[in-house]
Amino acid sequence: MKKFLKSIIIIVLVLVGIKFCNKHFLPRDNHVYSCESLNERYLSSEVILSKNSIKKGIKVLNAKAVRSPDYKKFYFVQYKLEIPGKGIVYPMFAMNKPFSSDSGVIYSMDDLAVSLTGFGDGRKTKANFSEFDRGFSDAKKCLK
C-alpha cells in the first residue's frame, strides 16, 4: 500500500511539474522557419520608432518576420535600422499583425528595441516571450 501511494504521489508531482514546466526547457524542434516581409505600414519610422529616435535621424531599412509556433498569432520580427554615426543595428520585436495594415500589438524583445522605440518589453509580459521560443533564432538571422 505504501509503494502504491508513493507511486501515485510521484506521478502527480511529475504531471504537475510538466504542466507548470517553463516552456524554455521543452525540447526544441529542428524546423527552419521562413523570413517574411512585413506590411509597408510597419516599415514606417513613425510606427516603430520613438519620436526621440526619429529626431536623432534613425532610419528603418528593412524588417522580416518569422512565425512562432509557440504562440497562436505572434511573430518574431527583426528590424534593420541605421543610426547616424553608429551604423546598422538589428533590434528584435514580437508582433501579432506584421502583415496587416491594421494596428497590432508590438513588444520589444531586447534592450536595444526598448531604448529605440519605447514599446513594452515582451520578455516581461504574461506571455513571457523569450529568445528561446521557436522562431526567434531564425528571425534573428533574417537580415544579417
Round the average pLDDT of the chain to a whole number and report it: 86
pLDDT (tens digit per residue) in 89-104: 999 999 999 999 998 9
The answer to the question of residue 67 being in a domain is yes
Q: In terms of pLDDT, which residue wins out, 71 or 28? A: 71
Residue pair 107/54 in contact by the 8 Å Cβ criterion: no
The answer to the question of residue 21 being in a domain is no
The answer to the question of residue 7 being in a domain is no
pTM of the predicted model as reported, rounded to 2 decimal places = 0.78
Residue pair 82/70 in contact by the 8 Å Cβ criterion: no
Joined together, the cell numbers standing for residue 10 give 510521484
Average pLDDT over residues 42-55: 97
pLDDT bracket for residue 82 (50, 70, 90):
very high
Residue pair 81/58 in contact by the 8 Å Cβ criterion: yes
Helix/strand/coil for 78: strand
The answer to the question of residue 9 being in a domain is no
Q: Count the domains in the chain.
A: 1
Residue pair 54/46 in contact by the 8 Å Cβ criterion: yes
The answer to the question of residue 118 being in a domain is yes
Q: In terms of pLDDT, which residue wins out, 33 or 58? A: 58
Name the least confident of 21-25, 112-116, 119-123.
21-25
* Residue 81 domain boundaries: 32-139
Residue pair 9/17 in contact by the 8 Å Cβ criterion: no
Residue pair 85/56 in contact by the 8 Å Cβ criterion: no
pLDDT bracket for residue 74 (50, 70, 90):
very high
| For the chain, percent of residues with pLDDT exceeding 90 | 74
